[in-house]
Structure 1
């Protein structure tokens, strides 16, 4: 049964927003050097007012954590919405930008571009990542569809077929990316930390430039929400209800490309966020796809801000990269979903 409007507003809006603010404040205050909350609040207030960073080591520590906290929130929102959109567009419960090879494609395209001498500016990294995401999406779909036809199951890719094709693309793209890291000093210097998925070297300017891109991707996904509700019933029924499945999928593909490319450009390939968050929220019975997408954006941001903070605290003063933390969270969820989906589906 769908949640009531009041319950939906609480679970998919107010609660995650409150948790995001709390987690963000904790991420600014805690780390290898804990900072009092009063100092954290004063520093943040001064920065927001354009007064700069107050003097002192504690204030400097807070200021250094602002870019990575903001970036973690943006990346979490982008990947969670991209995952929800992929799952709806393909009717595949295993849809996730990392699992289906899209993040690996974005990483490979960026590495190839840098190896060929393309500028490493934010614009070009985003453009390369978008091209790689789109190419990987088309390749995975084509391979899975061909496998489905070869097995006599028609032309529609099965969920397992998409996952296997995504795994193959991820492995191939990862191997080439690793080779470029070894052979090209330019690529190695730019991506040796970024390639594992991290916000440790986040830059506030890059986050500001890519925020509108992520915002546009979320808006496109929300614009396709009504058509996505109809797609859940099948293409034939969707046509009968006046929906346009082709247009809906085109909007969702554009949204997924923008969101995945921006997330990869900011933090590298961070996996499983788009798998874990939408599936967890569906258990709370959202009233519709629009509610699910909004909740995914907020809860995805909460998840990555909390995961980044956890990675900084567990073995402080060293840290566990964000990409490793999300894998530890996501693999058990994937195993459960594979068991429920069944290898023959």
Structure 2
């Protein structure tokens, strides 16, 4: 199986802030009276926080009001359906994470890239293997135990079509560790079982476990990345171990695929201006979402999504 998955990289945020801002949507004929942001996740999570953070910034740049509606049912499939069935006038947006593609690969999401097209990717969070340091201090400790005890190591995560399960499948196949996976209803349940010692590890983003890291209750020991993260130079990566998979949890914006390309370009320009703003970059830094550059425009994001979809479908076909 071909397991290479590469992200198209954008210029680092600091460089992006130094270049001239793109022409804003006000320079086009796109002037929506109002807009709706369908969020393919529940309130309070990473995708919801991302949406509500950029909402006022986007309103300012587009000169409109945006109503946020959370539609977490069926891994966000309802949000994707509502957006795909909306008028293709640019006034309905779908804010989604990588679950859009993982659930599509698993056959749980009827909406694909034929019905929804990407506007922009704003975040590319790095997935890490997270352990309880009382059980494993380093990845080498985890690896040694997994190799000595095949079939006994348990990884927890959210539902069967989640990006963390895809990470589990990729690691299991690449290493031959013979790991087991337990899906939980939510991230909190997985975290509780890791803390209590019921499971050996879980996959999560650094941004989501900051509190646990500060208290010493959780520790990321392996990054799904090409190179070691600047902020975490002691953490090994999948690629340096010879395992060619580097995906993470991405968050971006989608729109009805029948929308006029000029309208899509106008909204993309507005999002790029948001991304390059001091306010957005301050939010990203505070939430540890700047570990890896997040920005991709519509065309480049589509290429990454197509690569991810093929990779996840291949992973699942081997099960």
- Tell me the TM-score normalized by structure 1: 0.26
